[in-house]
Amino acid sequence: MRKNIGLKIFAGLVFAFLLVPLLIIIVTSFGTNTTIQFPIKGFTLEWYSKVFNNEAFMDSFFLSLQVAFIATLLALIIGVPAAYSLARHRVFGRNWIKSFFLSPTIVPGLVVGYAMYQFIVIKFQFPIIQGLFLGHFLICLPYVIRVVGSTIEQLDFSIEEVSWTLGCTKLQAFIKVVLPNITSGIFASFMLAFINSFNNIPVSQFLSGPGVTMLPTSLMNYIEYNYDPSVSALSVILMLGTIVLMYVIEKTLGLASIS
Amino acid sequence: MSYVELKDIRVSYDNKANILKDLNLSIEKGELVSLLGPSGCGKTTTLRVIAGLIEPNDGEFLVDTQNLTKVPVHKREFGMVFQSYALFPHLTIKENVAFGLKLRKEKKNSIDKKVKDILAITGLEELGDRYPKQLSGGQRQRVALARALVIEPKLLLLDEPLSNLDAKLRLAMRIEIKRIQRQLGITSVFVTHDQEECFSISDRVAVMNKGVIEQFDTPEEIYNNPKTEFVARFIGFENFFELTPTEEWNYKAVDGTVFHSTRDWEPGKHTGTIRPDDIEITRNNKQNENNMVSGIIKVRTFLGKSYQYEVETPIGKLLANKTDDVVYQVGDEVTLSMPSHKLIIV
């Protein structure tokens, strides 16, 4: 087999370009320097302990976790039946609706955030927490509809029909036959939506208010006044979390089938 | 009245073209009836109307004198076998088969016994704890059949159940289906586009074309006595020529040759048809009698046990088969004679 050296070098460069900054952050999080500097002078875990002792970080971390979890759950409750309906029924304007549900992944986050700000905060004056749930629910929904929808489309429709002939009502068929066969899609969409909600900056930024800060916002606030490596430490913790989730998705469904 | 009655069933999508046009079909208890036809003829639609998966725009559907036209699919108690087998991937074979019984809230003992019995009948005893993807095509087919039969359905519906199997297995499975159907005495409707499969398995066959039943008869009747040109074509009558009726059982072809047929006579029919196997081919003797026509061989095709000759005659191109004891050449002048008991008028 002919080995293409040029291609290998090029691929290596691209990977380096993507990974080196991350590596630097990981390294600096263990450094004894008081600002984020590379290379580091000595090794310490001080910045990690600082992160865990920072109340603003911990509060916003648990708030982000809570918002992401509840928003994703809501998105599943609404999104799975919607995805089913779009996949199975001849809904009027089905393709149009499908592209519409993709739009939040295409439209710039800032625009989505500002639009939500206009409606959720200014027009309808939702309380802050509920507004955050609603906003994050809306950014989670497209992932659920898209991922679960593609899983349902891959499912042989005749297994539903056969369950009807065996005596299932449509609802029973959905619960006994469809749901058990789309669990991988539901799980994957849960992970994806969760990560997206958790890492989302614009929507959180626009919808949060006094006393309610989401983690990315809290992180940005911190960087404005401090430039110490606890920011790196926090980033490493978040990266680890994301890597674990992605690994779980890859193991359950395979990333290729949802991207 | 028959056990199953379809009366003036009409199905159209979006109220445009009719998929089924005033279809009538009566099936007796215990009978296996096939719906045979090319794709798009409406045979699967008919089956889905019977199953309750499609609601007809017009017409009535009765089983055992009960009008089921408006009864939803899950209350009809019919067993259905799909082309793709449609086994539940997340359940074992036993659980697949027990699915319908569990919905009926039967006692566990009774479910276990029925599942065991049907697995024995379908030859699946050993496979109860496996999952569908661990099974071969033929085995999946049996599971689908077992699952449909275990609920003791009033009707068994089979939608091209053998078309995903290889040729050898298909042959074995159709004998198997027939055996089980007989053993349980269950009224069945079988959809297929395979003529041989259909003839071997069915008590009666409905040949369908463009949403209507062209002929509903025993396989022998359909094979030997097609009533319409479509049916004749579909079952291998390859020669068709225009005739003008002169008096009962007598016709004149376009070149004036007189044709005589001893088969069923019906006024208004005027197309002669005959299988290539039934035409006798001889060297041209220049003195044609009735039912004979001369022509020149244009194409010769080797079929194995015989040759097929395409002969250009004054009444049109005709195909005739002849065993290889006498072999003619392209360009030879020959006479084709059509025995009056083999010539059918459609």
Please report how the helices A94-106 and A55-88 are oriented relative to each other, as an axis angle in degrees rounded to 10: 160
pTM of the model: 0.81
> B177 with B269, same domain?
no
The single-letter DSSP state of residue B278 is: G
Whether residues B55 and B123 fall in one domain: yes
Q: Is the pLDDT of residue A96 over 90?
A: no
* Contact: A168, B80; criterion CB under 8 Å: no
User: What is the domain partition of chain A in residue ranges?
Assistant: 1-44, 54-257
- Show the domain range for B330: 238-345
Tokens 């905060």 — which residue? A121
Q: Is the same domain home to B283 and B156?
A: no
For the stretch B223-273, pLDDT in tens is 999 999 999 999 989 999 998 888 878 888 888 888 988 887 777 788 999
Q: Are B338 and B327 in contact (CB under 8 A)?
A: no
Pairing of strands B78-81, B155-159: parallel
Greater model confidence, B288 or B173: B173
Q: At residue A253, does pLDDT exceed 70?
A: no
DSSP string, B214-269: EEEE-HHHHHH---SHHHHHHTT--EEEEEEEEETTEEEETTS-EEE--S---TT-
For residue A257, pLDDT beyond 60: no
pLDDT of A256 over the 90 cut: no
How many residues belong to chain B? 346
CATH number (domain holding residue B274): 2.40.50.140
Asked whether B319 and B238 are in contact (CB, 8 A), the reply is yes
Dig out the tokens for A168 from the structure.
């299932």
B243 and B307 together in one domain: yes
User: Chain B contact for A90, CB < 8 A?
Assistant: no
What pLDDT score was predicted for residue A219?
87
Q: Are residues B154 and B216 in the same domain?
A: yes
Q: Does A211 touch chain B (CB under 8 A)?
A: no
Residue A258: pLDDT band by 50, 70, 90 thresholds? very low
Structure confidence by residue, pLDDT tens digits, A165-219: 999 999 999 999 999 999 888 988 998 899 889 888 888 888 888 888 899 888 8
Query: How far, in Å, CA of A201 to CA of A110, rounded?
Result: 9
* Both tokens assigned to B174: 């159709």
Residue A259: per-residue pLDDT: 43
pLDDT digits (tens, 9 = 90+) for A103-125: 777 888 888 889 888 888 888 88
Please, how many CA atoms are within 13 Å of residue A71, restricted to the half-sphere of its CB? 32
Would you state the structure tokens that stand for residue B341, as one six-digit string?
Answer: 């008991």
Task: Please list the helix, strand and coil fractions of chain B in percent, rounded to the nearest 5, in that order.
Answer: 30, 35, 40
Q: Is the pLDDT of residue B87 over 90?
A: yes
* B89–A167 CB contact, under 8 Å: no
User: What pLDDT sits at residue A71?
Assistant: 95
Cis peptide before B314 (omega within 30 of 0): no
| Cross-chain residue pair A167–B147, CB shorter than 8 Å | no
User: Which secondary structure element, helix H or strand E, spans residue B279, and what is its range?
Assistant: none
* Predicted local distance difference test score (pLDDT) of residue B300: 93
Residue A1 has pLDDT above 70, yes or no: no
pLDDT in tens, B104-159: 988 999 999 999 999 998 889 899 999 999 999 889 999 999 999 999 999 999 99
List the 98-157 stretch of B: residues with Cβ below 8 A of A: 99-100, 103-104, 144, 147-148, 151, 157
Report CB contact under 8 Å: A156, B53.
Answer: no
User: How big is the CA angle at A122 (ends A113 and A129), to the nearest 5 degrees?
Assistant: 70
The predicted model gives A47-58 an average pLDDT of 91
Q: State whether CATH 3.40.50.1980 applies to domain A54-257.
A: no
For residues B74 and B15, state if they share a domain: yes
Q: Give whole-number Cα distances, A2 to A6, B144, B176, B265, in Å.
A: 12, 50, 55, 77
What's the mean pLDDT when you consider all of chain A? Answer: 88
Q: Based on the domain organization, do B211 and B265 belong to the same domain?
A: no
What are the tens digits of pLDDT across the range B48-72?
999 999 999 999 999 999 999 999 9
Is residue B329 left, alpha or beta, with left meaning phi > 0 and alpha meaning psi from -120 to 50? beta
User: Which residues of chain B lie closer than 8 angstroms to A165, CB-CB?
Assistant: 51-53, 73-74, 76, 78-80, 148, 157
For residue B253, which of B338, B332, B342, B341 has the smallest C-alpha distance? Answer: B338
Domain boundary among the residues B177, B201, B229 is at B229
- A169 CB neighbours in chain B (<8 A) are 74
Contacts of A161 in chain B (CB under 8 A): 53, 73, 80, 82, 86
Predicted confidence at residue A254, as pLDDT, reads 61
Provide the β-strand partners of residue B307: B302, B322
Which of B202, B229, B256 is the C-terminal boundary of a domain? B229
Determine, for residues A167 and B86 on separate chains, whether the beta-carbon distance falls below 8 Å.
no
Please identify, among B185, B203, B229, the residue that sits at the C-terminal boundary of a domain. Answer: B229
Quick one: A21 exposed, middle or buried, by C-beta within 10 A (0-12, 13-18, 19+)? exposed
Closest CA to B260 of B345, B317, B335: B345
pLDDT single digits (tens) B1-46: 899 999 999 999 876 778 898 999 999 999 999 999 998 899 999 9
Tell me which of B343 and A2 has the higher pLDDT: B343
Per-residue confidence band for B101, with pLDDT thresholds at 50, 70 and 90? very high
Report the first-to-last Cα separation within chain A, whole angstroms: 31
Total number of domains in chain B = 2
Please answer yes or no on whether B103 and A172 come within 8 Å at the CB atom. Answer: yes
Cβ-defined contact of A177 to B151 (cutoff 8 Å)? no
